[in-house]
Amino acid sequence: MKGNRMKKLNVLSLFDGMSCGQISLDKLGIPVKNYFASEIDKYAIKVTQANFPETVQLGDVTTVDPDSLPKIDLLIGGSPCQGFSFAGKQLNFDDPRSQLFFEYVRLLKALKPKYFLLENVRMKKESMDVITEALGVEPVAINSNLVSAQNRYRLYWTNIPMDGLPQDKGIMLKDILEPVEKIEDVYYYSDKSIAYMQRGNDKWQQAGARRADRYTQTPDTEKAFTITANFHKGVPYNYFADIRDKSKCVRPGGRGSYDRHEWDSVDTHHIRKLTVTECERLQTVPDGYTCGVSNTQRYKMLGNGWTVDVIKHIFEGLKEDLK
């Protein structure tokens, strides 16, 4: 290569979603010749095309013909994880969505790209071993909390040279919150919604064995819980007690501090959803990137997406190798 010019890559992204891989490449300034995306969600495709209009959409992964593509330099993807996730039914490869992993393997074998990356959730060892054997590399476990204000533990199988884990940036929940005065009323929960969550206090199992009265996060010292595709459903998936606004947080006896265990005694009018912009920041996606579709769809694609700065860290090795 002459000077510092890098080769332009042909990239194939399977289960592309809103194209977080493309955001990562763009952040690093890695030039792309062609970016082929396999995705079937029309809302995610709309967001991708609004931000990267030259993306070539290929549709359903099962119909992607490797013979119709040029030489692919980089194959990436995060195959559907519902069958693997500890938060789901753990059907593993019996779940048809998780069987789509083998479409990734099919195209990896046919295209023989120089580089590949597969992302997925924590799973049982036997499932992890199947993926490891098929791809020929051990997974690297990375928690997004190193580069963002969100706890998000994921596995990454890749042959891209990687210089250890990302540095901890020390980002806390407070660092991604929008100013209180900018939070629209639509994000605050009604008394009815809060009562619904309180009634289910003993059964909610999201984020481990947390009960509703243990969901409170201290923004100055804690990270957000993992955002999921269910965030749009509201409580208990998307729950934040925003105690910065004292006018919406009235405590018995006039005390100013908040004890996380005093669920029943705290005025609930400050309990709200994290906004879509705040969720973009949790995934280190540029503010406003997901505009153009409903908030429901924006929450879904952000919950299904990648933490961009984790992928960016992995692609740093790609950048070095392309010089």
Catalytically annotated residues: 81
Cα–Cα distance, 230 to 128 (Å, whole number): 24
Nearest CA to 150 out of 315, 312, 314, 306 is that of 306
**Two tokens at 173?**
């929940």
Cα dist. 295→19, 49, 186 in Å?
A: 18, 18, 11
Q: How far apart are CA 17 and CA 39, in angstroms?
A: 6
Q: How far apart are CA 180 and CA 278, in angstroms?
A: 12
CB 216 within 8 A of CB 264: no
